[in-house]
Amino acid sequence: MKTRHKFVLAVAISLASFQPSFAADEAVVCTGQNLLPTIEKQAPKIAASLKTEAAGILFGKGLTWKIEKDGIAPSYLFGTMHLSDPRMLKLKPGAQAAFDGSASLALEITEIIDPKAMAAKAFSILQYTMYSGAENLDTKLKPEEAAAVRALVEKKLGLPWNVASKMKPWALMGSLALPACELARKRAQAPFLDMKLGLDAKASNKELIALETLENQMQAMASLPESFALSGLLQSVRLGSRMDDLFETMIQLYVKEDTATIWALMRRVGENGFVKAEDNADYAEFQQVIVDARNVSMVDASIPLLEKGKAFIAVGALHLPGEKGIANILVQKGYKVTRVTP
């Protein structure tokens, strides 16, 4: 069961860009704490294993990568996090220069720059996020489980249970896992990083291209085993305030451009702290469907832009590293990929 936590964290990261803005107190402040110092002090073996695993992940250090091929103007690959935390909204000089010099911007989805259009599109494909007929979370969970989810939904999201119970578990989980301060910023319509890039590109008359569609993303999430998503939903409830600490830890690692440690950290999230990585078939399916397969399709969609040159391709940072990450796929296709220093 503990291995489901990594699914919770991955879903929250992946879906933060299009979670609905439920009621939240806009005065909420972020309370999460970086967990790494505690891990190093209280669990030095786990801390050491995190460092060892992170060191072995290809392209695990860096957010901005220069993509080159002979005879073509260079393009850039940039890793985002779909959050509105102010620490990540201001690009570092190297990334800003790459963005400013680009002729086009590619995002995972372009609907994000127009929240009304995005909401309308999401409403048109509710089959991926909402149950129909008599199905709801009360019919999927044990009474005590449904009660625990309901209590957190009403406290954290301010959403009536008759509405929330019709949401499919993966969709509801994405909102429950987000820190209250991020939900408050969403309610205030604060731009998150990908959205800000899109708006800046539009303002500077850059060509804006989508690598995927909102429907593709939702369809992929909805294709995962329901039992896995239900378990993840319950784990998001049990983690409680630990989720805020995990997000704060990830944000600080992101600012340091250390995506490898984020990946290693996600493999060790446990209900009562951190556990050793365990084999898990469901998570392997999540990795294949939500990360690996999309890496391939996003590279395929990026190739025409790279062949034109001067593209700035911005996708979730966890799509970049690893043997099956976008950066390594581009190397395998004959491109030179080098880190742009902050």
Domain count, the chain: 1
| CB count in 10 Å sphere of residue 305 | 22
pLDDT by residue, tens only, the chain of 342 residues: 344 455 566 656 655 555 554 444 456 788 999 999 988 998 898 889 899 999 999 999 999 999 999 999 999 999 999 999 999 999 999 999 999 999 999 999 999 999 888 889 989 999 999 999 999 999 999 999 999 999 999 998 889 999 999 999 999 988 888 898 998 888 888 899 999 999 999 999 999 999 999 999 999 888 888 988 898 899 888 888 888 998 999 999 999 999 999 988 887 765 445 555 444 455 677 788 888 999 999 999 999 999 999 999 999 999 999 999 999 999 999 999 999 998
C-alpha neighbours within 13 Å on the C-beta side of residue 41? 5
Torsions phi, psi of 114, nearest 5?
A: -130, 90
pLDDT digits (tens, 9 = 90+) for 186-212: 888 889 999 999 999 999 999 999 999
Q: Which range marks the domain in which residue 144 is found? A: 4-339
| CB count in 10 Å sphere of residue 91 | 20
Q: List the Cα angle 265/242/112 in 5-degree steps.
A: 75
Closest CA to 283 of 266, 262, 265, 258: 266
CB 84 within 8 A of CB 193: yes
pTM here is 0.91
Q: How many residues does the chain have?
A: 342
pLDDT digits (tens, 9 = 90+) for 142-162: 999 999 999 999 998 889 999
The SS3 call for residue 302 is helix
Torsions phi, psi of 15, nearest 5?
A: -105, 0
